[in-house]
Amino acid sequence: MEQNEDSGAADLVDRPQYEAVAYRSRVLGGSRAAEAGRRVSAATLGIDLKNLHDVVQRWFAGRPVYSELKHAVLPPATYTILWLFLGWLALTPARWLWAVTTVAALGWLAYLIVQQSGADTPLERVFAMLMLLSMNATGVTVGNGQLIVHLLPALLTGLLLLQREGCGWHEDLLAAALLLVTLVKPSVSLPFFWIVLFSPRPLRSVLLITLGYLALTLLAAQFQEPELWTLLQGWLVHGSAEAVEGGVRKLADLGRRF
């Protein structure tokens, strides 16, 4: 009995020390986990922008792209457009330029949302603007350096310009230029182009955009050794394979969740 009492007393004496050790372990473990999380975040921050910068740099250096880079899934004209942002700068200054233009694009998009929302009072306008900034998708897109933040305001402005009655060549040229830039990622912008067909001047708009895209494609091909047809074939084959692989991976992830 005395031995049990001594053991119980020892437990009472040692418990605070044990709890302190356990607490320190949890804190240190949490700190290590947080540090690991920060390292992962730092490594993946702007990952899409890094990939785009890599492809653009290789493209205009004349090095193979579609046959060597897994993340080269966009058509040749895309890299001509992206050269303005990524082709003439190293990665760090390119990221700063991208950050500045991202802020400008968000402001432009917020302005369009407020103007087209029909908001009347200042509070309604602030609410409409904050809807864009509060979405998780906005943060993820900005953090990864994706294209859609730059693409959406140009797409909406171009489509709105084309719907105006009585506009001349100047307005149509501006609208066509804006829509042409949005073809930096055709999988996002191209589905909206059916709206162009219902604009007051569809033939002129389609002609300007088509000629502009053809010119960008031909310019991009000048920096690669293969012929244009070979480049387009490489893009289609590689892009299709990556799309299928990505779809299978998404389905597998979905299956594991359920």
Per-residue pLDDT tens digits for 163-220: 887 778 888 899 999 999 999 999 999 999 999 988 888 889 999 999 999 999 999 9
Cα→Cα distances 140→99, 121, 144, 149, 239, Å: 14, 30, 6, 11, 23
Poorest-confidence range of 25-29, 203-207, 221-225? 25-29
238 in the same domain as 171: yes
134 in the same domain as 77: yes
Judged against a pLDDT cut of 80, whether residue 228 lies above it is answered with yes
Taking all residues of the chain, what is their mean pLDDT, rounded to a whole number? 84
172 in the same domain as 187: yes
Q: What is the DSSP letter of 121?
A: S
The whole-number pLDDT of residue 3 equals 44
* Residue range 88-120, pLDDT digits in tens: 999 999 999 999 999 999 999 999 999 998 888
81 in the same domain as 40: no
Q: How far apart are CA 142 and CA 152, in angstroms?
A: 13
Q: What is the pTM of this model?
A: 0.78
85 in the same domain as 24: no
69 in the same domain as 22: no
